[in-house]
């Protein structure tokens, strides 16, 4: 171990105290004026750490040995947790995960948005922390004759081979090992990164948590996989809950896992799910929150709040997807227009509305901002559920120019949420925040969703020219 007078360099071993976690779940420590980030280092832990690489004013290191463990440390429930990049917090107790997520949200809102004393407790902090995921897209690779199936090692594209994943719904987890054996027995090429001959790239699994219906999808760079339909037929006979097997074709070498074309090999290409009292259809490429129970709780909070403050309101659901927010609002008697740029999602939302006989939900495809100029003046409530990068600048400016009476923002990134709230609910913004509810959609990871409900400060606010 080195002394405090040493200069940092690759290979140097030092002793550090974990102080916090970063957004990727890595431990943060300080040594001789440097910030050190270390995977698996926990707050309160004293550990020996080897420095690996400098990046600006910080160093990345790896933990060699725990000298004094954190009081919140635990044995990870998955034996691959130390290597697999799918989860980053399994070595931290669930209670400590919840505390850190709330503290991280509060600190981010204050540091970026200038907002204080706003974050409420997590929605259902005692909820299921394992077996919650209703969907998986798992990379594949055949290496020297051996099939490797699993998620990537942290910071790399090297697959950590697995047979089980404890965060998956147990009914999905039970499929992994037998499907892996069957795929291994074929002679199909497999490489998620498409570095060799075109073949299989990912295994997709999906379940309707309430219905138990299963969908297996194979993602491939090619349609030409001899014997694929016969294997799909064997799976249909083996698992009665399996409603269909599909082949998604993605020939492009990119970070986009799923391609535009999906072929039905056996059975049907959709499954049913019961959600907020409605029946939804989910396909291979359908975006649907992976934590069904938590998603239902969030939609219930949104519905109950709108009904409480504006029971006869006209509502815009921006970034509506297949209608998981809009349809329950329509079922509660509200008039809702859903906006979504993905045409396939809009078609699916319209079909779900028809299946549930909901006549007060309308869905429009196209860029959100193109429709807001006409819709905001005649709608009292706006619900936004943007991607991780937050509200696009033109959408944010449109909301500021024509602020509806009530604004609900569901965020999947505290930093971009804080940035947007600084304009929406900062000193010069048109809104006051009534409620902030952090929601843990992804236990065992550092990700956190958050629901913010805002009220326009003055009922006398008039639309301005955008």
The Cα 408–Cα 86 span in angstroms is 30
Structure-block tokens of residue 397:
């400016």
User: Taking Cα atoms as reference points, which of 384, 404, 375, 398 lies closest to residue 452?
Assistant: 384
Q: Which of 165, 276, 412, 450 is catalytic?
A: 412
Q: What is the dihedral of CA 96, 101, 104, 105, to 10 degrees?
A: -150
Q: Are 399 and 372 spatial neighbours (Cβ–Cβ below 8 Å)?
A: yes
Please name the residues in contact with 177: beta carbons below 8 A apart, sequence gap of 6 or more: 163, 164
Parallel, antiparallel, or unpaired: how do β-strands 146-149 and 46-55 relate? unpaired
Residues in the chain: 466
The Cα 453–Cα 455 span in angstroms is 7
Q: Are 431 and 404 spatial neighbours (Cβ–Cβ below 8 Å)?
A: no
CB atoms within 10 A of CB 69: 14
CB atoms within 10 A of CB 19: 15
Using a 10 angstrom Cβ sphere, with 0-12 exposed, 13-18 middle and 19 or more buried, the burial of residue 118 is middle
User: Taking Cα atoms as reference points, which of 164, 200, 205 lies closest to residue 184?
Assistant: 200
The Cα 25–Cα 390 span in angstroms is 21
Q: What is the dihedral of CA 431, 435, 441, 444, to 10 degrees?
A: 110
Structure-block tokens of residue 247:
């082949």
Question: 309 — phi, psi (to 5°)?
Answer: -100, -25
165 part of the active site: no
User: Taking Cα atoms as reference points, which of 316, 358, 333 lies closest to residue 350?
Assistant: 358
Question: 256 — phi, psi (to 5°)?
Answer: -80, 110
- HSE at residue 81, side-chain half, CA atoms within 13 A, is 18
The Cα 37–Cα 45 span in angstroms is 13
> Which residues are tagged catalytic?
412
């Amino acid at each position: 171990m080195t002394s405090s007078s040493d200069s940092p360099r690759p290979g140097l071993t030092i002793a550090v105290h974990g102080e916090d976690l970063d957004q990727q779940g890595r431990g943060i420590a300080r040594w001789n004026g440097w910030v050190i980030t270390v995977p698996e280092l926990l707050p309160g832990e004293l550990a020996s750490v080897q420095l690996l690489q400098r990046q600006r004013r910080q160093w990345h290191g790896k933990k060699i040995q725990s000298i004094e463990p954190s009081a919140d440390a635990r044995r990870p429930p998955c034996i691959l947790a130390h290597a697999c990049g799918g989860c980053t917090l399994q070595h931290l107790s669930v209670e400590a995960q919840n505390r850190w997520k709330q503290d991280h949200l509060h600190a981010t809102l204050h540091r970026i948005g200038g907002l204080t004393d706003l974050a409420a407790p997590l929605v259902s902090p005692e909820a299921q922390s394992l077996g919650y995921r209703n969907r998986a897209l798992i990379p594949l690779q055949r290496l020297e004759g051996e099939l490797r199936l699993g998620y990537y090692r942290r910071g790399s594209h090297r697959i950590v081979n697995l047979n089980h994943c404890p965060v998956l719904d147990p009914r999905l987890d039970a499929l992994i090992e037998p499907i892996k054996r069957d795929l291994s027995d074929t002679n199909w090429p497999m490489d998620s990164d498409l570095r060799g001959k075109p073949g299989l790239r990912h295994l997709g699994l999906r379940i309707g948590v309430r219905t138990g219906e299963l969908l297996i999808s194979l993602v491939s760079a090619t349609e030409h996989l001899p014997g694929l339909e016969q294997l799909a037929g064997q799976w249909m006979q083996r698992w009665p809950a399996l409603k269909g097997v599909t082949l998604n074709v993605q020939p492009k070498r990119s970070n986009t896992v799923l391609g535009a074309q999906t072929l039905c090999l056996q059975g049907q290409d959709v499954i049913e799910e019961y959600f907020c009292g409605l029946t939804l259809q989910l396909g291979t490429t359908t975006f649907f929150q992976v934590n069904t129970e938590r998603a239902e709780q969030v939609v219930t909070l949104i519905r109950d709040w709108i009904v409480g403050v504006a029971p006869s309101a006209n509502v815009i659901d921006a970034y509506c997807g297949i209608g998981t927010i809009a349809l329950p609002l329509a079922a509660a008697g509200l008039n809702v227009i859903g906006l979504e740029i993905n045409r396939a999602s809009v078609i699916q939302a319209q079909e779900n509305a028809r299946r549930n006989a909901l006549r007060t939900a309308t869905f429009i495809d196209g860029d959100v901002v193109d429709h807001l100029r006409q819709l905001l003046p005649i709608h009292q409530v706006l619900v936004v559920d943007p991607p991780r990068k937050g509200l696009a600048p033109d959408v944010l400016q449109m909301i500021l120019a024509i602020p509806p009476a009530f604004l609900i923002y569901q965020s999947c990134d505290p930093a971009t949420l804080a940035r947007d709230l600084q304009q929406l609910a900062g000193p010069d913004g048109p809104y006051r925040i009534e409620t902030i509810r952090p929601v843990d959609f992804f236990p065992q990871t550092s990700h956190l969703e958050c629901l913010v409900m805002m009220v326009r400060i003055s009922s006398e606010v008039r639309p301005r020219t955008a």
